[in-house]
Structure 1
Amino acid sequence: MVHFPVNHPARPIYRVLAGLVGLYILVFGIWGTVQTLGEPLFDRGDTWVLGLRTNLAFSLVSVIFGIVLIIGASRRGNLGHYMNLTAGVVFLVTSILMMAVLQTDANFLNFSMSTVIVSMFFGLLLLGTGLYDKVGTDEHAAEERRHRHHPVSEAHTR
């Protein structure tokens, strides 16, 4: 059974972290779009923004992802929880796929190894924040805490 802590006391800190990741990605995307405007969409040039190599396509995708992450971090319900989990997986999978094609013509987002590392770091951070920012009723949180602290006694009562 999947176990997500409910109403974790550090939930506001995790949402701030997710919001800061979203803000960094949004600033990177906007700055990258300005720097690469007029170049081909999937250019393999040497444009670097905030320490990461980019092209117009990667910059535009970053703007969209940054906005989505900021929206998810600003919501009080479970929307941010699901968005962070999903974004974390997307970042991890994308970074692994792009690392696999780093030195080939299939590197259409113009990733560098630093971009792969930052994407993996952001993916792990977003996955972690998604694991701890679930919101529920007080009863649900109390039941989850009871199950977490006494899982063996519940198994014997069934």
Structure 2
Amino acid sequence: MAHIPVNHPLRPLYRTLSGLIGLYILVFGIIGAIQTAGDPLFDRGDTWVLGLRTNLAFAILSIIYGAVLLAGAVIGGNVEHIVNLGAGLVFIVVGLFMMTVMQTDANILNFSMVNSIVSFIFGLLVLTAGLYDKVGSDEDVKAEERYRHHAQPAPTSARGE
């Protein structure tokens, strides 16, 4: 069974990081929706916003996705933990899928290679945040300490005895 740390000391840093990513995606979506208003939903045009290519469908999805990620960071706790784990996986899967269909008519979100790379980077960062932002009770912290002490190898002497 995998071990996910509880009450990691860098939890505030990971929360801030996932919140900033959520804010970027939300702002990207809002600006993208404004710039692509009136275009067909799945347009394959050449609209770029904040360094990423977009269309109206991708802008709308980004608004929703960014709001969920930002809300998870604001709420915090284990809600943020679950949101970050799920969002990180979605970023990676969508980036990979859209990279495979980039030069086809299935590129309904108008992705470019830059979009896929950013999706992978955001996915890894948010997934990492999800792995380290789990919150637990005092009892969970004590169990964590017991786990850490049990998992450490016994010290050996300097002479190898």
For normalisation by structure 2, the TM-score amounts to 0.92
Q: Which residue of 2 aligns with 1:69?
A: 69
After superposition, give the CA deviation of every residue in 1:76-133 in whole Å (9 maximum; x if it has no partner).
3200000000000000000000000011111000000000000000000000000000
Map of 1:145 onto structure 2: 145
The one-letter amino acid of 2:14's match is Y
| Offset at residue 152 of structure 1 (A) | 6.9
Matched, 1:123 2:131: no
Q: Distance in 1 between matches of 2:47 and 2:148?
A: 49
Structure 1 residue 141 displacement after superposition: 1.4
Alpha-carbon RMSD across the aligned residues, in angstroms, is 1.1
Alignment match, 1:40: 40
1:43-62 → structure 2 map (5 Å cutoff): 43-62=43-62
Instruction: Tell me whether 1:27 sits opposite 2:27 in the alignment.
Output: yes
- CA apart distance, 1:139: 1.7
Q: What residue in structure 2 maps to residue 5 of structure 1?
A: 5
Give the TM-score taking structure 1 as reference length.
Answer: 0.94
Deviation of 1:22 (Å): 0.2
Measured in 1, the distance between the counterparts of 2:77 and 2:27 equals 25
In 2: Cα distance, 1:112 partner to 1:71 partner: 27
Aligned partner of 1:80 in structure 2 is 80
Larger radius of gyration: 2
Deviating 4+ runs (over 2 angstroms)? none
* Partners of 1:61 and 1:75 in 2: CA distance: 21
Q: 1:128 to 1:31 in 2, by over 3 A?
A: same
- After TM superposition, the structure 1 stretch with the greater mean CA deviation from structure 2, 70-79 or 14-23, is 70-79
Higher alpha-carbon deviation: 138-147 or 117-126:
138-147
> Share of identical aligned residues, percent?
64
Q: Could you report, residue by residue, the CA deviation over 1:48-81 in whole angstroms, capped at 9, with x for unpaired residues?
A: 0001000000000000001000110011320000
Task: Say how many residue pairs are matched.
Answer: 153
1:94 is matched with 94
> 2:69 and 2:34 mapped to 1: Cα distance?
21
